[in-house]
Amino acid sequence: MQTVLTTPSRLAKRAQYDETTIHAILDEALFCTVSYAINGQPMAIPTAFARQGNRLYIHGSVGSHFIRAIETGGRVCITVMLADGLVLAKSAFSHSVNYRSVVIFAQAEKVEDAAEKMQALALLTDHLIPGRWDDLRPTTQSELRKTTVLAFSLAEASAKTRTGGPNDEPEDIDLPTWAGIIPLQTVRLTPVAADSSLDVPIPQYLL
């Protein structure tokens, strides 16, 4: 949703507010950064997350200073960035980055309902490793009690993206310098078994 907070001051044409774009970026990214402020001092923590509908979930230990600082509902800013490529132009000035980012302004809601909490943990697990949750023993009530799950509304979320090649100034375009894109990609390498699993076949959902 476009609000005063979600309208960027620069390159506003790159801003997007449609759910499809925002959800796709959130579903592809593995980690977000949660920024908060304590007495005006900014703090930030990178962490795992998952999305369902218009809610984003994070989790942490009930004893975590970070979780305790934000679970009472202070404003946070959650950012996600997918770096898609380095954009090399003919001048340093016109170099750029292809990216897809989301910025969310929200307040934490502590998930108290046990069923929603358990479902959020399944989402968090399967967001990083699709198919994993159903392959695991059930999470116990004790484990659930040791974990805080926080939910954030995506009502005040916006996306910003850049795609395509360099935008060089006309006077630079014929310089004999190579210009173009170096695509970036995050890849999953071959799984490495723990000592406890040397005899266990790698499950299909990891291949």
Three-state DSSP string of 86-109: EEECCCHHHCEEEEEEEEEEEECE
In the complex, minimum distance from the CB of residue 132 to its own copies, in angstroms, rounded to a whole number: 7
Measured at the CA of 160, the angle between CA 159 and CA 164, to 5 degrees, comes to 135
In the complex, minimum distance from the CB of residue 53 to its own copies, in angstroms, rounded to a whole number: 22
Residue number, 24 or 129, with CB nearest to its own copies? 129
In the complex, minimum distance from the CB of residue 122 to its own copies, in angstroms, rounded to a whole number: 8
Residue number, 64 or 153, with CB nearest to its own copies? 64
Three-state DSSP state, 113: coil
Residue number, 57 or 147, with CB nearest to its own copies? 147
In the complex, minimum distance from the CB of residue 49 to its own copies, in angstroms, rounded to a whole number: 12
Q: What are phi and psi of 86, to 5 degrees?
A: -95, 130
Burial (CB < 10 A; 0-12, 13-18, 19+), residue 143, is exposed
In the complex, minimum distance from the CB of residue 23 to its own copies, in angstroms, rounded to a whole number: 19
Residue number, 112 or 136, with CB nearest to its own copies? 136
Residue number, 16 or 166, with CB nearest to its own copies? 166
Q: What's the rounded Cα separation, in Å, for the pair 98 and 139?
A: 40
CB neighbours of residue 29 within 10 Å: 19
Burial (CB < 10 A; 0-12, 13-18, 19+), residue 139, is middle
Q: What are phi and psi of 97, to 5 degrees?
A: -135, 135
